[in-house]
Amino acid sequence: MFTPKYPTPDTAPTPAAPVVRTPDAIHPPATSPMPAPAPVPVAPARPTVQLTPAAVVTVAVGGTTVVLVVGAVLVSLLLAVAITGASVAVCAVVLRSLLNQSGTGR
C-alpha cells in the first residue's frame, strides 16, 4: 500500500540527446547598440498629515471606546467561564452525594 509505484520501462520517457554548444569566442553574439536608459519617474511629494486638536481628541476618544468595549467583552467571557465552572462543580458534588447515599442503602 505504501510502496511507490514506478512506471513500466516501456512507458518511461527517453532522455533527450545532449545539446552540443560551440564556444562564444568562435561565434560571438550579435551586439546591438545599448538603448538609452529609461527616465526615472519622480515620486510625487506626499502631503504631511496635520492633526488638528479636534482630530486628536476624536482619536483619543475612539481609542478609549475600543479599549473599554474589548475589555467589557473579555471580562464577560471570563465571568461566563467562571460561572460555568462553578455550576459544574456543584453538579459534581450533588451527584457524588447521591451516589454515596445509594450505596449505603439509606
Domain boundaries defined on the chain: 75-106
Position 106 scores a pLDDT of 55
Element (H, E) at 91: helix 53-104
* pLDDT tens for each residue of 10-33: 765 666 766 666 665 565 556 667
Q: Which residue has the cell 553574439?
A: 29
Position 17 scores a pLDDT of 66
Instruction: Give this prediction's pTM.
Output: 0.44
Position 80 scores a pLDDT of 98
Position 28 scores a pLDDT of 57
In whole angstroms, what is the distance from residue 104 CA to residue 97 CA? 11
Position 81 scores a pLDDT of 97
Which value, to the nearest 10 degrees, does the dihedral of the CA atoms of residues 12, 17, 18, 23 take? -160
Q: Which residues of the chain have pLDDT under 50?
A: none
Position 85 scores a pLDDT of 97
